[in-house]
Amino acid sequence: MTFMTGYQSMEGVPSTCNHWLLTEVLRDEWGFEGVVVTDWDNVGRLVTEQKVCASYVEAAVAAVRAGNDIMMTTPEFYDGALEAVRSGRLAEAEIDAPCARLLALKFRMGLFENPRRPDLERAALETGRAEHRAANLEAARQSLVLLQNDGLLPLDPKQLKSIAVIGPNADDDLQQLGDWSLGASQHPPEAGKHPREKTTTVLDGIRALAPEGLEVRYERGCSIIDDDLSGIPAAVAAAQAAEVVVAVLGDHLEFIGEVRSTATLELQGGRSRCSRRCRIHWRRAASRWWWC
């Protein structure tokens, strides 16, 4: 088992150097027997961003004594820890402790008998198996939350002549995948993005299920990342002309993930303004709207 420290602080103490959190609570009180790994450059951030340590030597001492076992992506930790041992600020026995925990975990996992190196043939057999896809589908179904249904749902495509699908997330494939997918901020632009044909947006799904004769009209409306409202008139016109409106709102990769998440659940970008405009129209025809 592994436990990763976060970037946050508790009462002014970063979690990476919080002995009370990582040792007294996690190990002593909760009985955690695995290894603790820092998040990306957490030890370095003690010096460069959180500024609770004056040097990498001091940061190495603090991280080890707090209870960390693996220092992720802080190259300066190695030289800092060596200097701390040479100068007597850190005992070798204090380095032995995390090494012992890491070796114990590898023994329990059987990694010395079976190192589990990459097996592309097995990966090809295991990835995307029918039972795995079925489990993913069931998990997606159970994660849906229907707050209120006044009889509009489920939609009967045989009884409809027109559907308007509006909203900036209705046909944005990347926003369906999250911030660790190809094309998100965690990957360089040259890495490309997730293949479009591998993602089904709300608009894709509605069009695929719509029978012949059912008009599906799509309008993006506004932007999530800026205040551009130039698409609102077309979206309103589409909504007024349709029997049913599916409005697809939500988050954007600009506001998701580490050091990006917003501190509010309010709609971002132009939607914060256009939602006030649309609310009047929505009240007039609430029974025809489905928000997702």
Q: What pLDDT does 282 receive?
A: 43
Residues 54 and 61: beta-carbon distance below 8 Å: no
Residue 173 is a catalytic residue: no
Reported as type and span, the H/E element at residue 4 is strand 2-4
Domains of the chain: 2-109 (no CATH), 148-291 (3.40.50.1700)
Q: What pLDDT does 292 receive?
A: 52
Residues 80 and 62: beta-carbon distance below 8 Å: no
Q: Model-level pTM? A: 0.73
Angle, vertex CA 198, rays to CA 196 and CA 202, nearest 5 = 80
Catalytic residue among 28, 39, 41, 150: 39
286/65: higher pLDDT: 65
Q: Reduced to 3 states, what is the DSSP secondary structure of residue 133?
A: helix
Q: Is residue 281 over pLDDT 70? A: no
The CA distances from residue 237 to 21, 161, 230, 242, 291, in Å, are: 56, 16, 13, 9, 17
Q: Please state whether beta strands 215-219 and 162-166 pair in parallel, antiparallel, or not at all (unpaired).
A: parallel
What is the average pLDDT score of the chain? 89
Q: How many CB atoms lie within 10 A of CB 85?
A: 18
Q: Where are the beta strands (DSSP E) in 109-267?
A: 162-166, 215-219, 244-247
Full 3-state SS string of 36-69 = EECCCCHHHHHHHCCCCCCCHHHHHHHHHHHCCC
Tell me the per-residue pLDDT of 159-187, one tens digit each, with 9 for 90 and over. Answer: 999 999 999 999 999 998 888 889 888 78
Tell me the per-residue pLDDT of 52-62, one tens digit each, with 9 for 90 and over. Answer: 999 999 999 99
With cut-offs at 50, 70 and 90, classify the pLDDT of residue 255.
Answer: confident
- d(CA 250, CA 213) in angstroms, rounded, equals 30
Amino acid, single-letter form, for residue 201: T
Residues 85 and 57: beta-carbon distance below 8 Å: no
Tell me the per-residue pLDDT of 3-18, one tens digit each, with 9 for 90 and over. Answer: 999 888 999 999 999 9
Identify the DSSP state of 127: T
Residue 221 CA, chain-centre distance (Å), reads 25
